[in-house]
Amino acid sequence: MKGDALCTMSLSEAARAVARREVSSRALTEACLNRIEHHGEALHCIARIDPDAALRAADEADATLAKSGPRGLLHGVPLAHKDMFFRAGRAADCGSRIMAGHVPEVTSSALAHLDAAGALDIAQLHMVEFALGTTGHNEITGTPRNPWNTEYITGGSSSGSGAALAARLVFAALGSDTGGSIRLPAACCGLVGLKPTYGRVSRAGAMPLSFTLDHIGPLTRTVEDAALMLQVLAGADPADPTTPQEPVPDYRAGLNAGVRGLRIALPETYFYDKTDPEVAALARASLDVLEKLGATIVPVRLPEEFALANAMSVMITVTEAAAYHARWLRERPDDYGRQTLGRMLPGLLYPATRYIEALNLRARILNILEEHVFAKADILHTPVWPIPVPSIAESDVAANPGFMEFLTLTGHCVRPFNYTGLPAMSVPIGRTNNGLPSAMQLIGRPFDEATLFRAAAAYERETGCTAEAPPL
């Protein structure tokens, strides 16, 4: 295998090939750079890249491997990440005009973990301005394009991560998820996207949006790759006090365990209330596969009160974001894109009592999930996007007078799990009639990502759901 064909390997395959010296880090990096040169501009997903520096890093990785063996689980494998993960001395724009050219003095803990595992960081990827948006639109830096059809959105806010990974430009990418921003791009682009349990991965050195809702996690091509990335990223960090002293298990150990004996909850309320019939049919078919493999399907009903989770998540996001951006909102409002400014300004108007009420209601929503779902099942199964992936034109804020309602709809299935902090995973389940991917969401108990990997891997083996690549 050589040249462009190298990019078809999964992250796990590439890491094993380098460790066994079946392929060099330089060969992998040259293949990625070549693919970026051919497809990066059309997809508008690359924010910043230094090919010479990438090749030097690859040569250093090969020299280290020859001298002392692999540094870690990802030795010599080229990755790229959302342009909000700070690296000391390197500019990060965060998809914005306001932070354009900002040079941080710290390196994010997530990047440091990947560095320690031997991964290469070869490019920064475009994103929604300040990570505030579910569609991927960005009128400041431009909107990334979906490799399945460039007239369609990638999902946001980890838009460049979704496009670059689906197009096989790199082997994995970091994203952030405050209201679905890992799972939505993964769903739109036919990828696996994991929002781990709140605090499972350190947020230190990553641009904050909403400090009680922000999560860091990977977008990958396969379930094994997601488990491998979390293995490297997870753990306590003194620089982030929200990371607990929770042991990090071997996430790959149970990938072949199958789903026999697992109980999977099918919600009869809320999640399908606004779901398009075509998406609902694909979601139900994915559940049928899991049932055929031995899982027990458990119908559950959530009380009407659960619907508050979406609204409370939105309010907390914009309130905390507005607090962080307060000075810029006063001094530089014209430097924001219209969508970002329009969503952030209301955060300055919510009274503190409403914000505290929203935080306090979280315990009630968690209790609802425990009583109505996890007392009866091991995993909750839902759609990710409740509608087929829309085009860039039809989801543009300037052309859509009902845009705020549209944003509420796009987060309908995903935001409740930022609000509650539970682990949630997007897994491809086929394509809708417009040719764009759709996905199921698997949600688990706190710090039980391993069970999500187990179920997703069984579905992946049975269906080959992650094997298909966009026809670039």
Q: Is residue 407 part of a domain?
A: yes
Q: Give me the domain span that covers residue 381.
A: 3-463
DSSP string over 171-184: S-EEEEESSSTTHH
Provide CB contacts within 8 A for 236, sequence distance 6+.
243, 244, 245, 246
- The CA distance from 442 to 104, in Å, is 36
DSSP string over 215-248: EEEEEESSHHHHHHHHHHHBS-BTTBTTS-----
pLDDT band, very low/low/confident/very high, at 3 (cuts 50, 70, 90): confident
pLDDT tens for residues 253-296? 999 999 999 999 999 999 999 999 999 999 999 999 999 999 99
- The CA distance from 106 to 195, in Å, is 24
Provide CB contacts within 8 A for 160, sequence distance 6+.
44, 45, 46, 47, 82, 83, 125, 126, 127, 144, 154, 173
Q: Is residue 356 part of a domain?
A: yes
Provide CB contacts within 8 A for 132, sequence distance 6+.
157, 178, 209, 317, 321, 339, 340, 343, 344
Q: Which amino acid is at 43?
A: L
pLDDT band, very low/low/confident/very high, at 98 (cuts 50, 70, 90): very high
Tell me the whole-structure pTM to 2 decimals.
0.98
Identify the CA nearest to 262 among candidates 292, 300, 294, 223. Answer: 294
For residue 401, pLDDT beyond 80: no
Q: Is residue 159 part of a domain?
A: yes
CA distances from 13 to 24, 171, 333 (A): 13, 10, 47
Q: What is the pLDDT of residue 400?
A: 63
pLDDT tens for residues 327-383? 999 999 999 999 899 999 999 999 999 999 999 999 999 999 999 999 999 999 999
- Mean pLDDT, the chain, integer: 97
Over residues 16-22, the mean pLDDT reads 98
Q: Is residue 469 part of a domain?
A: no
Q: Is residue 321 part of a domain?
A: yes
CATH number of 130's domain: 3.90.1300.10
Provide CB contacts within 8 A for 60, sequence distance 6+.
none
Q: Annotated active-site positions, please?
A: 82, 157, 181
pLDDT tens for residues 145-187? 999 999 999 999 999 999 999 999 999 999 999 999 999 999 9
Element (H, E) at 169: none
Q: Is residue 367 part of a domain?
A: yes
Q: Name the percent of the chain lying above pLDDT 90.
A: 95
Identify the CA nearest to 189 among candidates 450, 385, 438, 3. Answer: 438
Structurally, how many domains does the chain consist of? 1
pLDDT tens for residues 231-248? 999 999 999 999 999 999
Q: Is residue 471 part of a domain?
A: no
Q: Is residue 470 part of a domain?
A: no
* Residue 468 in tokens: 């298909």
End-to-end CA distance of the chain: 20
- The CA distance from 218 to 363, in Å, is 27
For residue 403, pLDDT beyond 80: no
pLDDT band, very low/low/confident/very high, at 2 (cuts 50, 70, 90): confident
